[in-house]
Structure 1
């Protein structure tokens, strides 16, 4: 395998984040494997957005299946291609709509993580505005032969800014948005830092009241829970007008909408999601992409999930011809499955190389050992339903750390020790289960001893008839089974107390006590271990006879 060359800064982020089971923000291209159809479909979305279209996708997958990784990888790719990106994780405090500012909190989180290629870690709002103004100045100086500080240059820049702002006034809330941009330019031109700061606060949604906004900027509206999405559409338009290709919103942890207990609030959030879906799918929004990550339960639960809202269910559900063995990757929902074994193998090889590069040693694990590790992970009980990429990666990073920190330890010894621990754990569980079964059996037999003289079992939902015949048979009063150690071959008791020539147990008290005496005298000569084994066997037979 070709030796990679990755900066220490990236290997540190990769090793630390993968060990902790979280998605790294940088260096994803070095560990990305598989997902080719999904990635190709999302890259086609970017081309459409750059041409004036819009996109809406829900990335559906179980915890640890790679939703956040896919969103993060697309985010990094889009930034490198001159898109503006925002990302936020939903939480109980951040929703799409709320009565306590949860929607506005989501907007603030998105704007706080506003990122571009030159500012990939967020906080790109003011640098983006400054880049735009500097670009206008540079363009006008080259076109008109003007010099920095020339009054005519400032006038020309101001005209261009008002031109861009005027183009946005026809949009919803566009007039106020343009007015705030103009206020920022005025503060920039005159060196009024307070005016610039007020404009930035308004754009971030940090001015709480209309009175304060009117006093500081001369606008009569503020960004709030109801209108924040309209301003995201304005940001998309503005990003294109200042030289970018579009705006992408990455919203993860959509399952927090599913967890909203109040049905009215949950429906309100789904209605906002429906508005976003309609705007992007119908062409009302331009240069805007919305990507939402969530679990299958969040999407498909007909009681509380997205499918509980019929307007969304009928739009998001699979078509008649794409719900079989084949699927389409152009639908609004992208469902992520587990990586194939070949893709996991490639991932393990890359992780092996990155770990060795980071800690400065030659990779020791052979490909055959990687295959053995993968087989051990895949062959675990329930792996088909429960195994995820996150679990495989965390376990493999654990193996790499152990082998690196303990030089005397071999891969085979580490894997064998782990398997023995799991086997011992299973044995302990089995022993505990057996002892619990035996205790339950003893308790059951003791209750039978107390009820034996009455000819019935007590406390087990079993047999009863006041000394009469029972449909399944009964135990003798000896506190255990009769001297035969089992029920009669006919599975029934004689209700007359007559002879027992045909293998039936008599129901009279005298016969029961006699059988108990014989049973006790027979057991007296046996060892405790044999007696315990027989009692467990007899109990198992009894449970099987009663179908318990």
Structure 2
């Protein structure tokens, strides 16, 4: 049996189950990384800059199935190891950067729900971070006032700790800091008084889940709520909050940018692109520190002059490719990183890695040789439609499905199995939008 891979059983299971399901595993992606070393090296350099107080925006552009989502998950793994707080969210028809009907705050809520740290890589880490920060303030207050750590937690000192919470928040936040501080004081009160509901209400506010100011005032005594217009200020506040706790910075990954391209009204689409521009300018002009945004989308999303990012002139001038770049000479320092498809050698290495992980997961040894893996690849890449439609996602899924069939039916003829594979066009019908009338 293959034992030469350093992988946790939980990671192996996540990798196999996710890839068979056609999605990227949330954990363990570093074990199946192939052919992206230059991109990762450039990303590590960028992370170092952000840790040192700069901010950054990157656009990861590639065809459908070329590994954009995979890349974002890989960036997470690297950033978490570098002590960043990381969050992921997808643009959807109901989640966007600019809106006036709750769709922008819905994106914010998705980001806050998915906050991850190294000890909680799968997300949901906001309560952990809140309590960690509060513990830091409690310790500082106790030391400063010469009170024991046990005593300081009593209700007698509640106001003292709360005023320190407010003072600390005021020092690190700008827009909306007062309400942010008030809510964290309420969270602390719930923490000390064992009032779960108060803590839940505070988290609900921080995650942008209050829909009316009246309800928030009633529950928490605050005048404002997180909404479509101020959510970006809240993300910047959280970034400062995380850095004040000793984290390197805050990295936010936004995938499926096709859903901005798909917005049917040109005015609303432009407003979303304007928001990307203002984030871009903030990050590159030094208006914010320790913040890293990654956007992922297809080439069409970037370059389409009528609906894509290039339809917004100020973005086009910033995102055009370095004209000295060629397929052989790449510039990974520019904001747009184009993900080239894996070549056949890289796919072969990847399938070998997957076989090892599959065997580790099922505690077995697959009866499939390197020659047979090559035969499988040859069958796939020579099928009608392969050149046009075949993506790594489909190759991986078919390969794992074959391993699963062979695991349960070891006597089957592999050549026949390989021959039965059919290539499907799995690309979403996303660009047939040119027929839509602009509203």
Q: Does residue 1:166 correspond to 2:170, yes or no?
A: yes
Higher mean displacement: 120-129 or 265-274: 120-129
Equivalent of residue 354 in structure 2, options 342, 351, 355: 351
Instruction: Identify if the C-alpha distance between structure 1 residues 146 and 403 changes in structure 2 by more than 3 Å, giving closer, same or farther.
Output: same
Matched ranges for 1:67-82 at <5 A: 67-82=68-83
Whether the 8 Å contact between 1:85 and 1:114 is mirrored in structure 2 is yes
Taking the TM superposition and a 5 Å limit, the aligned residue runs for 1:335-346 are: 335-346=338-349
Q: Secondary structure at the match of 2:151?
A: coil
Larger Rg: 1
C-alpha offsets along residues 501-522 of structure 1, whole Å, 9 cap, x if unaligned? xxxxxxxxxxxxxxxxxxxxxx
Instruction: Name the SS for the 2:58 alignment partner.
Output: strand
Residues 364-383 of structure 1, C-alpha deviation per residue, up to 9 Å, x if partnerless? 11111222222233333454
Structure 2 CA distance for aligned equivalents of residues 402 and 202 of structure 1: 49
Structure 1 residues 193 and 399: CA distance shift in structure 2, 3 A: closer
Alignment partner of 1:418 out of 409, 417, 420: 420
- Does structure 2 retain, via aligned residues, the 8 Å contact 1:202–1:223? yes
CA-based RMSD? 2.4
1:308-319 aligned at under 5 Å gives the runs 308-319=311-322
Mapped to 2, the partners of 1:102 and 1:15 lie a distance apart of 34
Whole-Å separation in 1 of the counterparts to 2:389 and 2:289? 40
Match of 1:57, SS? strand
Looking at structure 2, the residues matched to 142 and 177 of structure 1 have their Cα atoms a distance apart, in angstroms, of: 25
Unaligned stretches of 5+ residues in structure 2: 424-439
Once structures 1 and 2 are overlaid, which stretch shifts more, 219-228 or 301-310?
219-228
CA deviation digits over 1:302-325, x for unaligned, max 9?
111111111111110113322565
Alpha-carbon separation, structure 2, partners of 1:272 and 1:104: 13
Deviations 1:450-485 (A, max 9, x none): xxxxxxxxxxxxxxxxxxxxxxxxxxxxxxxxxxxx
TM norm structure 1: 0.72
Q: How many angstroms apart in 1 are the aligned matches of 2:163 and 2:231?
A: 28
On the 8 A contact 2:141/2:164 being kept in 1, the answer is no
Counterpart CA distance in 2 for 1:147 and 1:135 is 11
Q: What's the offset of the Cα at 1:219?
A: 2.8
Between stretches 188-197 and 278-287, larger displacement belongs to: 188-197
- Are positions 1:332 and 2:335 aligned together? yes
User: 1:464 is matched with which residue?
Assistant: none
TM-score w.r.t. the length of structure 2 is: 0.88
Deviation of 1:175 (Å) = 2.7
Separation (CA, whole Å) in 1 of partners of 2:382 and 2:281:
44
SS in 2 for 1:328: coil
Give structure 1 stretches of 5+ with no counterpart: 423-548
Query: What corresponds to 1:188 in structure 2?
Result: 191
The residue correspondences of 1:79-118 to structure 2 (distance < 5 A) are: 79-118=80-119
Query: Superposed, which structure 2 residues align to 1:114-125 within 5 Å?
Result: 114-125=115-126
1:427-455 deviation digits (Å, cap 9, x = unpaired): xxxxxxxxxxxxxxxxxxxxxxxxxxxxx
- The Cα offsets for residues 400-427 of structure 1, whole Å up to 9 and x where unpaired, read as 1222222211323433x438x89xxxxx
Q: Please give the residue correspondences for 1:450-461 in structure 2 after superposition, counting only pairs within 5 Å.
A: none
Does the alignment pair 1:282 with 2:282?
no
